[in-house]
């Protein structure tokens, strides 16, 4: 309501999240990927040092939980390594009384049933990249060096016949680009309505590897049409479980002052054991080793994750504590400044009311006011 004070998340975060860049290798060739592909991977020794450093910093700063994200490239290409790193992390969790959460980020083209059995047994979450339904996904996420392979069919098989039968309910992320914004509604139906999968829509961010791919840039009106169509699809068979936090890039279901965890509770560790601020800055580490206070090193790096109150154009916005000014890397790329509103501000202002309306309808349905 006008004049009301938003209830911000109180106190510091209790979870320290660490992105472990397991490998540069990948079996897909996605046009927007920011990773320079090679066969390089994290050694077990480096991985163990990384996990030790994460738990040491969690202890230093009083975090109660460590969350490890195994990423790449395609992390599942080195599944045996992930298993050994998990075992080491679980041992440190028991020794320090710091709880452990883990997630594997994967394209899900080739996830073996035996590996899924292990993920289910160890209660490790899975996040899948899916950029459309059918041929639209195939266009954006083709198999490397094998034209015509149906990667969507492979992912669908993994979801329906490997993960869901083992009660693994994967999260899904769609990178929305100029090529697939019109397919957001079909994806929402396939994931949210037909399979009750938590789904996140992330806006494409240009990077050094994709800067020549003009077709990936989205036109605002086309993206707005695609996202509103997705929201209409969700409303047609409104779920009762919370889904609002993923409906819009960098928008949180909870009010907060920072767009992401950089400098707060987030670490990125490269396959060589260097420390970076953001996965998109893998090639620009702020520290070559994992010694000392890693959060302090990240906070002192060139990427500035300012609170939303310090961003021009955001201070008086009704939605400032939902998007928190948007991705700082994208803002700096577009404007050369860290202290201004996101270049996607108009998108947020247009789509946020529609996303919040869906949450209102969901709450009404859960509490018996909507049938």
How much is the average pLDDT of 53-68?
98
Q: What is the pLDDT of residues 17-43, one digit of tens each?
A: 999 999 999 999 988 888 888 999 999
Q: Mean per-residue pLDDT for 200-223?
A: 75
By the 8 A CB rule, do 15 and 63 touch? yes
Judged against a pLDDT cut of 80, whether residue 82 lies above it is answered with: yes
pLDDT in tens, 295-349: 999 999 999 999 999 999 999 998 999 899 999 999 999 999 999 999 999 999 9
The string of pLDDT tens digits covering residues 132-185 is: 999 999 999 999 887 889 999 999 999 999 999 999 999 999 999 989 999 999
Q: Mean pLDDT of all residues in the chain?
A: 92
Q: Closest by alpha carbon to 329, among 269, 259, 226, 239?
A: 259
Query: Taking residues 71-76, what's their average pLDDT?
Result: 95
Asked if 30 and 137 touch (Cβ cutoff 8 Å), the reply is no
Residue identified by tokens 């889904």 is 243
CA-derived radius of gyration, the chain: 20
Instruction: Name, in order, each residue with C-beta under 8 angstroms of 272's C-beta and a sequence gap of 6 or more.
Output: 40, 42, 46
β-strand 275-276 against 266-269: which pairing, if any?
antiparallel
Rounded CA separation 295/148 (Å) = 44
- The structure's pTM equals 0.93
Any residues with CB less than 8 A from the CB of 316 and at least 6 apart, and which?
none
């Amino acid at each position: 309501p006008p004049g009301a004070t938003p209830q911000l998340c109180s106190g510091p975060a209790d979870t320290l999240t660490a992105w472990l860049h397991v490998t540069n290798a990948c079996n897909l060739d996605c046009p927007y990927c920011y990773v320079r592909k090679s066969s390089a991977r994290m050694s077990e020794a480096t991985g163990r040092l990384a996990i030790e450093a994460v738990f040491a910093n969690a202890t230093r700063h009083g975090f109660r939980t460590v969350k490890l994200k195994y990423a790449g490239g395609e992390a599942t290409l080195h599944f045996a390594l992930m298993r050994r790193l998990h075992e080491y992390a679980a041992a440190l969790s028991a020794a320090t009384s710091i709880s452990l959460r883990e997630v594997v980020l994967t394209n899900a083209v080739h996830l073996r049933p035996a590996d899924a059995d292990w993920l289910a047994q160890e209660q490790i979450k899975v996040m899948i990249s899916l950029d459309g339904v059918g041929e639209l996904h195939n266009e954006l996420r083709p198999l490397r060096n094998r034209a015509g392979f149906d990667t969507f069919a492979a992912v669908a098989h993994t979801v329906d016949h490997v993960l869901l039968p083992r009660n693994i309910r994967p999260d899904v992320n769609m990178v929305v680009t100029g090529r697939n914004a019109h397919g957001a509604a079909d994806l929402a139906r396939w994931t949210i309505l037909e399979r009750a999968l938590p789904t996140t829509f992330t806006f494409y961010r240009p990077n050094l590897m994709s800067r020549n791919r003009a077709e990936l840039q989205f036109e605002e009106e086309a993206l707005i049409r695609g996202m509103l169509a997705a929201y209409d699809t969700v409303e047609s068979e409104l779920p009762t479980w919370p889904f609002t936090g993923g409906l819009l890039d960098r928008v949180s279901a909870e009010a907060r002052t920072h767009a992401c965890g950089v400098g707060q509770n987030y670490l990125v560790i490269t396959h060589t054991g260097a420390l970076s601020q953001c996965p998109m800055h893998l090639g620009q580490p702020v520290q070559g080793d994992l010694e000392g206070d890693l959060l302090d090193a990240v906070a002192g790096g060139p990427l500035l994750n300012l609170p939303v109150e310090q961003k021009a154009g955001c201070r008086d916005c009704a939605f400032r504590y939902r998007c928190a000014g948007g991705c700082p890397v994208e803002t700096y790329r577009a404007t050369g400044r860290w202290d201004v509103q996101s270049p996607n501000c108009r998108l947020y202002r247009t789509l946020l009311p529609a996303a919040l309306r869906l949450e209102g309808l969901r709450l009404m349905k859960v509490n018996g006011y909507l049938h």
